[in-house]
Amino acid sequence: MRRELFDAHYEAIYKYIRYLTNDAELAHDFLQETFYRYYQKNYTEHERTYLLKIARNIVYDYYRRKKILSFFQLKTEPEAQEKLPEEVVIQTDELEKLYAALQRIKWGYREVIVLRYIEEYSVKETAEILSCSEAKVKNNTARGLKALRILLGGVDDE
C-alpha cells in the first residue's frame, strides 16, 4: 500500500518541491520528510492534497527558518523533446524570464500561480492545499497574474 502511494504521487510531489526550492538534493530530502510525515498520520482520503500540504509546510518552514523566504528561485529543466535547438533556446529563455518574474512577486501570489498554472490544480484544490478560501485563491491569482504581466512588460488592463 505504501509503495503504491509513493509511486502514484512521487513525481508530482517532487516536482512541486523542486519548483519551490530549485535544489534537487533538498527536494529529495523534503520529499522523504513529506512521505514520512504522511505515513505517521495515516490519512485515507485526498492523498495528494495532504501530501502537497505537508510538502508546502516543510519548504515554508525551511525558508522561514533560514529567513530567505523572499529569495525563492523557481526553475525547471527544459524537457528534452523532439524540438529544434532554436525552439529549446527560445523556450528556455521564456521560462527563465517567467521564473525571474515569479521570484519578484509576493509569496502568496507565487504559490497560487505555481499550483494553478504550473501544477494545474483547480481553485478548490488549491484552496485545500493552502488551507484558505477559494475567494482568496481567486484574488491572489488575479493579483499575481497582474503583477507578472507588469514585470514581463505586458499591458496592464487598468
What pLDDT, on a 0 to 100 scale, did the predictor assign at position 75?
Answer: 42
Which of 30, 48, 72 is the endpoint of a domain? Answer: 72
**pTM of the predicted model, to two decimals?**
0.55
Does some domain include residue 158?
Answer: no
Q: Which residue has the higher pLDDT, 22 or 41?
A: 41
Instruction: Note the pLDDT tens digit of each residue in 110-158.
Output: 889 888 887 788 999 899 888 899 999 999 999 998 998 888 886 555 4
Average pLDDT, the chain: 79
What pLDDT, on a 0 to 100 scale, did the predictor assign at position 87?
Answer: 63
The percentage of the chain sitting over the pLDDT mark of 90, rounded to a whole number, equals 22
What CATH number does the domain containing 97 carry? 1.10.10.10
**Burial, 102: exposed, middle or buried (Cβ in 10 Å; 0-12, 13-18, 19+)?**
buried
Most confident option among 43-47, 67-71, 100-104, 143-147: 143-147
Domain of 135, in residue numbers? 77-153
- In the chain, how many domains are there? 2
User: Alpha-carbon distance 127 to 137, whole Å?
Assistant: 6
Does some domain include residue 39?
Answer: yes
Confidence of residue 86 (pLDDT cuts 50, 70, 90): low
What pLDDT, on a 0 to 100 scale, did the predictor assign at position 156?
Answer: 55
**Burial, 20: exposed, middle or buried (Cβ in 10 Å; 0-12, 13-18, 19+)?**
buried
What pLDDT, on a 0 to 100 scale, did the predictor assign at position 149?
Answer: 87
Does some domain include residue 33?
Answer: yes
Q: Are residues 64 and 85 in the same domain?
A: no
Q: Are residues 38 and 90 in the same domain?
A: no
User: Alpha-carbon distance 87 to 93, whole Å?
Assistant: 10
Instruction: Note the pLDDT tens digit of each residue in 133-143.
Output: 999 999 999 99
Mean pLDDT of all residues in 20-30:
86
